[in-house]
Amino acid sequence: MLLAASSETLALIWVWPHVMLRWLGVRYAANIHDPQRKRLDQAEWWHRWSIKASFLPVEFGLVHEDFDKDQPDIPSHVTCLAVPYGCYEANISEGDGAALRSELIGADQARTIFLAFGYIADRKNIDLCIRAVSSVPRAMLVVAGPAASRHDKPASYYRGLAAELGCSDRVRIEEGFIPERMVANYFGAADVVLLSYKPEFVSQSGVLLLASNWAKPVLASSGAGPLSRVVRRFDLGLVVEPDDVNALRTAMEHLIAHGYSTSGWAEFSKHASWDRNVAILLSAFSQSR
């Protein structure tokens, strides 16, 4: 049994049938996207015990490459396997995003579109991106995706910030679920993909794996983890210090002035494949029988 994600939510309630199946010989593996689980609503004691319970049936934990496997929230009975998180597939057609790009920049072909795609979440430093864009006249920011949670700032906050900074005409926020048919339009229209996470973010970004279909340069920040390491290793774009608006602004100006090679995407897409992911897991199961 492969769990798509290791989630502690209500684990003290739902985990027991899986524990029984584990005793009966069913073997479990789970993707561990974020071992450093943060409490949101529940009491601290419930949070800690829920984390422990969620791992009870798990034999193998799939963690992102180069991730520190000695995490306090991963119990000792779980064997961690470093695997690549495979690239996402997307339907791409010639001319994707052309109409949207024309709508966004109009006759000002000198503008560079920076795309922040996916959940609108505090961890992505969207406010700092707006502040950076406000002082880079040739930059335009497009934010597209649903709100991450009620704990995160809403889209209205970012629209208000852009108005306050006088760059509303260069900040567009599309809040809500993006239909699959529209995804290619946003990536096709963009020049650069923004992955400007806070230092607390130490995981991989699904947006990076989706962006592999369009091979656009990225502007990334994060804590020490697979996102920043992968971008550097395969030379997919610029990595800056997190929570640093000046670093974001400087990187935007550099990308606008000089562009960035996209040659590393082919090697990355080959490396980050689901074939490698599955092969590592199957090998671990066969060797541990």
Q: What is the pLDDT of residues 145-174, one digit of tens each?
A: 999 988 899 999 999 999 999 999 999 999
Q: Does the structure show a pLDDT above 60 at 109?
A: yes
Higher pLDDT among residues 274 and 221, named by residue: 221
pLDDT at 244: 97
pLDDT at 82: 85
pLDDT at 16: 94
- The residues spanned by each domain of the chain are 2-86+273-287, 98-271
pTM value?
A: 0.83
* Phi, psi (degrees; rounded to nearest 5) at 63: -115, 160
Residue 120 CA to residue 159 CA, distance in Å, equals 12
Instruction: Please report, to the nearest 10 degrees, the dihedral formed by the alpha carbons of residues 63, 64, 70, 73 taken in order.
Output: -50
Q: What is the mean pLDDT of residues 5-12?
A: 75
User: Confidence band (pLDDT; 50, 70, 90) for 283?
Assistant: very high
Residue 281 CA to residue 83 CA, distance in Å, equals 8
Element (H, E) at 218: strand 218-221
Q: Identify the CA nearest to 213 among candidates 239, 193, 231, 227.
A: 193
User: Confidence band (pLDDT; 50, 70, 90) for 137?
Assistant: very high
Q: Does the structure show a pLDDT above 80 at 281?
A: yes
Share of the chain above pLDDT 70, in %: 92
User: Confidence band (pLDDT; 50, 70, 90) for 94?
Assistant: confident
pLDDT at 107: 67
Q: Does the structure show a pLDDT above 70 at 66?
A: no
Residue 53 CA to residue 58 CA, distance in Å, equals 10
Structure-block tokens of residue 26:
């069913």
According to DSSP, the β-strands at 112-117 and 237-239 are unpaired
Element (H, E) at 140: strand 139-145
CATH for 98-271 is 3.40.50.2000
Q: What is the mean pLDDT of residues 117-146?
A: 97
Q: What is the mean pLDDT of residues 94-121?
A: 88
The mean of the pLDDT values for the chain is 89
Most confident of the ranges 46-55, 198-207, 209-218: 209-218
User: Confidence band (pLDDT; 50, 70, 90) for 75?
Assistant: confident
Residue 150 CA to residue 134 CA, distance in Å, equals 27
- What stretches of 106-179 show up as alpha helix (H) in DSSP? 126-134, 155-165
When mean pLDDT is compared across 41-50, 152-161, 190-199, the lowest value belongs to 41-50
Sheet with 237-239: strands ordered across:
171-175, 139-145, 112-117, 192-196, 218-221, 237-239
pLDDT at 65: 66
